[in-house]
Amino acid sequence: MKCLLFIICFVNVQCDITYIEVKYPLTGKLAPPNVVWPHPQKMEVSNDLLYIRPNDLQVDSNIETCDIVAKAIERYKPLFFPPTLDMHQPPADTENILQTLTLNAKNNSQCEKYIELTSSEAYNLTIKQKVAVVEAESVWGLLRGLETFSQLIYINEQNYVVINSSVNITDSPRFRHRGIMLDTARHFVPVPVIKKNLDTMAYNKINVFHWHLVDDQSFPFESKTFPNLSRAGAFSPDHVYTPVDVADVIEHARLRGIRVIPEIDTPGHTFSWSKSMPELITVCWAHGKPYQAIYSIQGEMEIFNPSEPRVYSTMDALLREIKERFPSNYVHLGMDEVYDKCWLSNPNIRQWMVDNHILSTKNLQKYYADRILDITRNISVTPIVWQDVWDEKVELPPGTIIQVWKDSSDNIEFDSWASYLNRAANEGYNVILSSPWYLNYISYGKYNTDRSVMNLEFFKYYEVEPLRQFSGSNEAKERILGGEACLWGEFVDGTNLLSRFWPKASAVAERLWSPATINNSEDAQFRLDVHRCRLLRRGIPAQPILNGHCGNYEVGMPKSLINHPIFNYENPTWASTTKASLPAKVLASLSSSSTKMVTSYIYVIFFLSVGYFYH
Amino acid sequence: MKCLLFIICFVNVQCDITYIEVKYPLTGKLAPPNVVWPHPQKMEVSNDLLYIRPNDLQVDSNIETCDIVAKAIERYKPLFFPPTLDMHQPPADTENILQTLTLNAKNNSQCEKYIELTSSEAYNLTIKQKVAVVEAESVWGLLRGLETFSQLIYINEQNYVVINSSVNITDSPRFRHRGIMLDTARHFVPVPVIKKNLDTMAYNKINVFHWHLVDDQSFPFESKTFPNLSRAGAFSPDHVYTPVDVADVIEHARLRGIRVIPEIDTPGHTFSWSKSMPELITVCWAHGKPYQAIYSIQGEMEIFNPSEPRVYSTMDALLREIKERFPSNYVHLGMDEVYDKCWLSNPNIRQWMVDNHILSTKNLQKYYADRILDITRNISVTPIVWQDVWDEKVELPPGTIIQVWKDSSDNIEFDSWASYLNRAANEGYNVILSSPWYLNYISYGKYNTDRSVMNLEFFKYYEVEPLRQFSGSNEAKERILGGEACLWGEFVDGTNLLSRFWPKASAVAERLWSPATINNSEDAQFRLDVHRCRLLRRGIPAQPILNGHCGNYEVGMPKSLINHPIFNYENPTWASTTKASLPAKVLASLSSSSTKMVTSYIYVIFFLSVGYFYH
């Protein structure tokens, strides 16, 4: 880090550095404007800088025919050169100009289609003699290196686009599974918002989108096999992920090196299924009557009926469809929070348990889990489960991933997350950690020490060290695959999802990518603040984590990029309606002339407010 | 409420009602889609409905020449008829169509310019014989009645625009001062965001914008008298409220019946002044050295120097300017959190205190306050202060408003807010309450009871009853003017301000407007949820307070109105840049044809994405 810091002395970077005016300076080191987040494994950069010609940097690759690389190059240019910001051509008298960026995959015949758990994401990034090169084993490493390169570029106070003239970065992730869990059942999250979230994940080198597709509240996932599930179980016909939508999300993720892992949570959390398939769901009883809700204990029907054979045939067909449609080959089965009071309340289930010598609800849960795990075995997908089913001592197939979400700080009946991690890995299971990273648990995050003003939430997420208390073999340690930041959707939808996730999830991203030794929270707070401004420059409404400002592109300011079409996937009807209502002649003249308008760097967006008249 | 509820049986309103699919139904009453928020004092509405012709409702007034009324009529039409939503003309065979809305001020010569603390906001709204009439003493009452009328309109499932055929509402606010405090110093809030927030305040009948203009972190307010204050003290030249900006905000508020009360917080919270006027600020000492920060106690210079005569001449000139530029005739003087350690650390101040027989920092604070209050007396503005200066027993001029922000739940050294309210009112001061309404103290708000799922934050804000423990004369009770929801800006800027304020501040709005008997939180939770969907239909990204959905206009969905130009005040450079880069011919053909495109309801926004090319 030390060498980077000298940049501040070399170039005045006021336009990009925040918090200069803060009353309470933080004790961490001031971060340079081109700080790389998450921090690379090894990094040497010079103080000297090269200029870059805005919109005119040549980017080549030895696998340019690979769509992932070709599209990434397209995508990154507006990230190198944010479309609203002032950028000058380099001074006429300089030769210190970066000539090219080259992306070289070591095996240049290989254009993989989907990133996998075992894919290499390692890369080297060098800049010397006015040439930048990213080298990697795989296209995924090239994507990560391209992201790092994009972060090294910045616009200095004189509005020149610059980058360090000598760079030597060797980088690879510490953990293989670095995920975000999004709940699209408590509130529907429209595809354009999911896509923008995927973009932000890529900016943080996060490689798993765990899609909590359905839950009690709604069933937005449109199954081809069982279309009635969403027809009846979605909030409305507008609140559905069609097969085209799902494929669109998977493709968007694929191009960014992100795996999409769907979750179909059973046997609990299934009230929305009851709208179309009531026969699968246990009717809960109370006071001698069926369909009775006691909301702290049970809904009226909220959990599968394990005695019902159609449960298994339905799950078999649905999981086969999932395997076909989601290329990750992983499926999250949920299996959390199986509240057994409802099962016991139902006389038919009680009788069935007796008839089948199942003498406890634990064993009933085990019976259910075993049958579902048989299905995943038969169709060769790897199951992921919330830890609950493992807590119940169900034997899980080898390779199963256990997602740890409990911690003694939430419930005195729970152990610490570290002990769960330890135990599961030592028992031979793969594990991912989420307990300390439930981003929906928001709090007002400020406290003063004698030396600093701190952001509590950031610290809480950042200071987690997954292996701090790990004891086990190296082999067992390898089974700790990583973790996920989770955002449950009770109070989250398109209005606040992005600002609530970011930049808090970035803290998790660095923890899972960077070496364990990168753990100075006060430094990191500064660095993340710079990265947060970068996210704003990319159209992401990441919320502030400290007092201060980013620049004249903040949300609501004239150069804001938040609604810039290049960083957004929405296509509001009002835009197309007004377009459609234009005379054909105007449209024709526009589209014929549009080609003339193409410069080296053009997205032609024409936004003309002629006025607003109301009789 | 009962009669309203029958509407649900009468018309299927699924498109506008949320939470039909919720697993855990709430125990409160289901709210109709045209619930009025805040709840009126008295309200009778029929089950029968009238149709309204979309975009074609005649609105008259007996004071149409009054700009406030004329502009309100313009403004409300897109609120009656949200521009992206499907609306049919009434069936051909019906005569049940609302003919007109008339806005009648009782004194029709009176077009007041600015709302005041004592202004009447009362109104009656009736609909009978296909005619709607709002009657009020003042234009401000007309604005409130127009808002209520706009909320009664809804689009039913068949996409007809309807309203109750018989309505009888008598309404007026319970408290006169219903405010929002916005901190624009810890982060800058751009004017377009402030305006959108003012719109939302009007939708909630909030009538005071308390503008916490400056603080330690920055001085964005551009003073005409002392331009260096913002030149040196703002985050950047882009992070400044120019005189034009301030006038623009005041005018925007004026047209909506909102008073703008500026706060210039002294003698503490003044670090940003030190950038241009270090002579006014106390240098803090520690360990025998000046300019020493101990952040839990003092900054290096963060508090006025009361021994410095230029402090008073500067404040005199600045407050005179404030009086001239802000028509409310109130000024908030701050006077909170005067941490005296810095004063005592400074040898010059200690000597001056001895010389002037000021034997404690309490008395020093009193000395300062007395001199500033002399200024406000001389220039005839009414001061508002945070309670601290009153806690220190400073005698305040009659009419001073004390803003209560402390409570025993925050700090064991504090009393309960109720006791402060009691005491201040009984001592003859006017009082406003903020302690329970610090909206920056966010928390994850969900808990289950046997019968309900609750939103904790909503309940916390809604269940406050300002007079619950009041004991005093009716005269003293009258001095409890109302309250304010405050949002301190440590972690808030344009990215999240609106979603963080709304709909939580709506809970405060109803508490301050509606009768104390409107206090069933579970019912209110449903009603507010409907109102929250209304805010979305008006382009406000109000966040969800419960599970569920609003409709196909949610953020990110095709009919979303969040970025619709009619509800936004931003003018991003990328829009005008791309416009400017178009060939002149195209522009000419567009503007000539634009007049042809004007229909009965047109804002011509042309948003055409021809493509995005990058070499």
In DSSP notation, A541-605 reads: -PPPSSSS---TTSTTSTT--TT-GGG-----HHHHHHHHTS-HHHHHHHHHHHGGG--SEEEEE
Interchain contact, A583 vs B605, CB within 8 Å: no
Q: Give the chain B residue whose CA is nearest to the CA of A57.
A: B615
What's the mean per-residue pLDDT of chain B?
88
> A107 in helix, strand or coil?
coil
Please give the sequence-ordered ranges of beta strands (E in DSSP) within B437-521, or none if there are none: 447-448, 453-454, 480-487
Non-local (6+) Cβ contacts of B350 within 8 A are B344
> B166 in helix, strand or coil?
coil
Question: Average pLDDT, stretch A27-32?
Answer: 75
pLDDT classification of A219: cutoffs 50, 70, 90: very high
Taking the CA of residue B254 and the nearest CA in chain A, the distance in Å comes to 21
Cis amide bond preceding B397, omega within 30: no
What does the alpha-carbon distance between residue B217 and residue B492 come to, in Å, rounded to a whole number?
14
Interchain contact, A451 vs B295, CB within 8 Å: yes
With beta carbons under 8 A apart, name residues in chain A contacting B557: 190, 238, 494
The residue ranking higher by pLDDT, B340 or A169, is: A169
CA atoms within 13 A on the CB side of B41: 15
Please give the sequence-ordered ranges of beta strands (E in DSSP) within A139-242, or none if there are none: 154-155, 161-164, 167-171, 177-183, 208-212
Q: According to the model, what pLDDT value does residue A19 have?
A: 28
What does the alpha-carbon distance between residue A90 and residue A98 come to, in Å, rounded to a whole number?
10
Residue A238 above 90 pLDDT?
yes
Q: What is the pTM of this model?
A: 0.91
Closest CA to A163 of A126, A110, A216: A126
Which of A275, A448, A593 is closest, CB to CB, to B586? A593
Q: According to the model, what pLDDT value does residue B596 have?
A: 30
| Phi, psi (deg, nearest 5) at residue B102 | -120, 135
What does the alpha-carbon distance between residue A302 and residue A313 come to, in Å, rounded to a whole number?
19
Q: According to the model, what pLDDT value does residue A340 have?
A: 86
Q: Give the chain B residue whose CA is nearest to the CA of A192.
A: B556
With beta carbons under 8 A apart, name residues in chain B contacting A582: 593, 597, 606
Q: According to the model, what pLDDT value does residue A361 have?
A: 93
Interchain contact, A445 vs B545, CB within 8 Å: no
Taking the CA of residue A474 and the nearest CA in chain B, the distance in Å comes to 38
Residue A612 above 90 pLDDT?
no
What's the mean per-residue pLDDT of chain A?
88
Q: According to the model, what pLDDT value does residue B28 have?
A: 66
Amino acid symbol at B170: T
pLDDT classification of B584: cutoffs 50, 70, 90: very low
Interchain contact, A21 vs B235, CB within 8 Å: yes
Distances (CA, A) of A561 to A89, A157, A528, B576, B607: 22, 19, 19, 13, 16
ipTM of this predicted structure: 0.90
Q: Give the chain A residue whose CA is nearest to the CA of B19.
A: A235
Taking the CA of residue A299 and the nearest CA in chain B, the distance in Å comes to 7
Distances (CA, A) of B291 to B281, B288, B296, B449, B513: 11, 10, 15, 54, 48
> B261 in helix, strand or coil?
strand
Interchain contact, B236 vs A297, CB within 8 Å: no
Q: According to the model, what pLDDT value does residue B16 have?
A: 31
Q: According to the model, what pLDDT value does residue A27 have?
A: 57
CA atoms within 13 A on the CB side of B449: 9
With beta carbons under 8 A apart, name residues in chain A contacting B544: 187, 490-493, 495
Interchain contact, B493 vs A610, CB within 8 Å: no
Taking the CA of residue A598 and the nearest CA in chain B, the distance in Å comes to 7
| A495-499, B107-111, B501-505, B512-516, range with the lowest pLDDT | B107-111
> A42 in helix, strand or coil?
strand
Residue A9 above 80 pLDDT?
no
Cis amide bond preceding B38, omega within 30: yes
Residues B379-393: pLDDT tens digits? 999 999 999 999 999
A456 contacts chain B (CB < 8 A):
no
Q: According to the model, what pLDDT value does residue B27 have?
A: 57
Residue in A251, A324, A337, A490 annotated catalytic: A337
What does the alpha-carbon distance between residue A347 and residue A285 come to, in Å, rounded to a whole number?
8
Interchain contact, A554 vs B499, CB within 8 Å: no
CA atoms within 13 A on the CB side of A438: 18
B287 contacts chain A (CB < 8 A):
no
Locate A156 and state its tokens. Answer: 């200095």
Query: Residue A606 pairs with which residues in a beta bridge?
Result: B608
Closest CA to A300 of A347, A342, A361: A342
Do the beta carbons of residue B147 and residue B203 sit within 8 Å?
A: yes
With beta carbons under 8 A apart, name residues in chain A contacting B599: 581
With beta carbons under 8 A apart, name residues in chain B contacting A583: 593, 596-597
Distances (CA, A) of B134 to A44, B21, B103, B509: 71, 37, 5, 21
Non-local (6+) Cβ contacts of B59 within 8 A are B73, B76, B77, B100, B101, B102, B103
Which of A77, A556, A611 is closest, CB to CB, to B193? A556
Q: Say if strands B382-386 and B330-334 run parallel, antiparallel, or are unpaired.
A: parallel
With beta carbons under 8 A apart, name residues in chain A contacting B563: 563, 570, 572
What does the alpha-carbon distance between residue B28 and residue B41 come to, in Å, rounded to a whole number?
20
Interchain contact, A606 vs B602, CB within 8 Å: no
Residue B290 has a CB neighbour count (10 Å cut-off) of: 14
Residues A342-388: pLDDT tens digits? 999 999 999 999 999 999 999 999 999 999 999 999 999 999 999 99
Mutate to test the interface with B, among A497, A502, A573 (most CBs of B within 10 A): A573
Do the beta carbons of residue A187 and residue A555 sit within 8 Å?
A: no
With beta carbons under 8 A apart, name residues in chain A contacting B543: 491-493, 495-496
A609 contacts chain B (CB < 8 A):
yes
Q: According to the model, what pLDDT value does residue A13 have?
A: 28
A580 φψ region: left (φ > 0), alpha (ψ -120 to 50), beta (else): alpha
B159 φψ region: left (φ > 0), alpha (ψ -120 to 50), beta (else): left
Residue B7 above 80 pLDDT?
no
The residue ranking higher by pLDDT, B333 or B55, is: B333
Q: Chains A and B: how many Cβ contacts under 8 Å?
A: 367
A578 contacts chain B (CB < 8 A):
yes
B80 contacts chain A (CB < 8 A):
no
Q: Give the chain A residue whose CA is nearest to the CA of B234.
A: A21
Radius of gyration for the alpha carbons in chain A, expressed in angstroms and rounded: 26
Q: According to the model, what pLDDT value does residue B447 have?
A: 65
Q: Find where tokens 């409130």 sit.
A: B144
Interchain contact, B554 vs A190, CB within 8 Å: yes
> A339 in helix, strand or coil?
coil
Helix (H) or strand (E) holding B178: strand B177-183
Q: According to the model, what pLDDT value does residue A297 have?
A: 77
Q: According to the model, what pLDDT value does residue A14 have?
A: 29
Q: According to the model, what pLDDT value does residue B590 have?
A: 36
Which of A206-215, B99-108, B297-306 is most confident? A206-215
B26 contacts chain A (CB < 8 A):
no
Residue B607 above 50 pLDDT?
no
- Output DSSP code: residue B164: E
Non-local (6+) Cβ contacts of B448 within 8 A are A295, A296, B24, B454
Radius of gyration for the alpha carbons in chain B, expressed in angstroms and rounded: 26
List the catalytic residues of B.
337
Residue B531 above 80 pLDDT?
yes
B495 contacts chain A (CB < 8 A):
yes
Interchain contact, B555 vs A593, CB within 8 Å: no
Locate B492 and state its tokens. Answer: 């808030």
Residue B40 has a CB neighbour count (10 Å cut-off) of: 22
Q: According to the model, what pLDDT value does residue A302 have?
A: 86
Which domains are present in chain A? 42-171 (3.30.379.10)
Residue A264 above 90 pLDDT?
yes
Strand-by-strand arrangement of the A100-105 sheet: A42-45, A167-171, A123-128, A131-136, A100-105, A58-61
Which A residues, 526 through 565, put their C-beta within 8 Å of a C-beta on chain B? 536, 541-549, 551-552, 554-565
Which A residues, 111 through 170, put their C-beta within 8 Å of a C-beta on chain B? none
Q: Find where tokens 């799902």 sit.
A: A246
Q: Give the chain A residue whose CA is nearest to the CA of B568.
A: A556
- How many helices, marked H, and strands, marked E, lie in chain B? 20, 22
Q: According to the model, what pLDDT value does residue A206 have?
A: 98
Closest CA to B185 of A22, A27, A448: A22
Which of B216, B235, B548 is closest, CB to CB, to A235? B548
Closest CA to A419 of A429, A408, A411: A408
pLDDT classification of A582: cutoffs 50, 70, 90: very low
Interchain contact, B557 vs A186, CB within 8 Å: no
Q: According to the model, what pLDDT value does residue A398 have?
A: 87
What does the alpha-carbon distance between residue A45 and residue A149 come to, in Å, rounded to a whole number?
12
Cis amide bond preceding B565, omega within 30: no
C-alpha triplet A95, A100, A105: angle, nearest 5°: 155
Which of A275, A547, A554 is closest, CB to CB, to B494? A554
Question: Average pLDDT, stretch A24-41?
Answer: 80
With beta carbons under 8 A apart, name residues in chain A contacting B236: 549, 551-552
Q: According to the model, what pLDDT value does residue B453 have?
A: 65
Residue A611 above 50 pLDDT?
no
Residues B133-148: pLDDT tens digits? 999 999 999 999 999 9
Taking the CA of residue A401 and the nearest CA in chain B, the distance in Å comes to 28
Q: Which long-range contacts (CB under 8 A, 24 or more apart) does A471-477 make?
A: A471/A422, A472/A422, A472/A425, A472/A426, A473/A426, A476/A425, A476/A426, A476/A428, A477/A425
Amino acid symbol at B573: T
What does the alpha-carbon distance between residue B282 and residue B343 come to, in Å, rounded to a whole number?
7
Interchain contact, A572 vs B552, CB within 8 Å: no
Interchain contact, B574 vs A549, CB within 8 Å: no
> A477 in helix, strand or coil?
helix
Which of B186, B450, B500 is closest, CB to CB, to A295? B450
pLDDT classification of B504: cutoffs 50, 70, 90: very high
A24 contacts chain B (CB < 8 A):
yes
With beta carbons under 8 A apart, name residues in chain B contacting A296: 448-450
Q: According to the model, what pLDDT value does residue B450 have?
A: 60
pLDDT classification of A452: cutoffs 50, 70, 90: low
B445 contacts chain A (CB < 8 A):
yes
Mutate to test the interface with B, among A193, A453, A493 (most CBs of B within 10 A): A493
A85 contacts chain B (CB < 8 A):
no
